[in-house]
């Protein structure tokens, strides 16, 4: 079976470690700029921007403009399908 394109599926989007790290950084519910991600992740701005674009496209991040900056925050509701899938396995580790 072919995999869904990364840009249309939350599971594929979070399969990449750097994108999971970005989600960890926005877990506080606050807005964060690209430069904050670049600094925290020690990665280039173009690389971070590509990861942010993927997370935005699948709906895991919301973005708003403030002047010339874009501010990102989590849209945790879009992680619900991931939680629902993992929940099926919960009984295996709580026995």
The residues spanned by each domain of the chain are 6-93
| Tokens read off for 72 | 């990102």
State the pLDDT at residue 12.
93
b vs e for 52-81, b when ≥16 Cβ sit within 10 Å of the residue's Cβ?
bebbbebebbeeeeeeeebbbebbeebbee
Region 70-94: mean pLDDT is 93
pLDDT tens track for 38-70: 999 999 999 999 999 999 999 999 999 999 999
Q: At what angle do helices 34-41 and 17-25 cross, to 10 degrees?
A: 120
Fold of 6-93: Arc Repressor Mutant, subunit A (1.10.10)
């Amino acid at each position: 079976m072919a995999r869904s394109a990364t840009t249309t599926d939350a599971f594929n989007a979070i399969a990449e470690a750097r994108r999971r790290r970005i989600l960890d950084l926005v877990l506080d519910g606050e807005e964060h700029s690209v430069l904050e991600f670049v600094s925290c992740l020690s990665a280039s701005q173009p690389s971070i921007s590509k990861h942010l674009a993927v997370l935005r496209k699948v709906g895991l991040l919301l973005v708003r403009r403030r002047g010339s900056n874009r501010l990102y925050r989590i849209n945790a509701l879009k992680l619900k399908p991931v939680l629902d899938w993992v929940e099926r396995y919960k009984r295996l580790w709580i026995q």
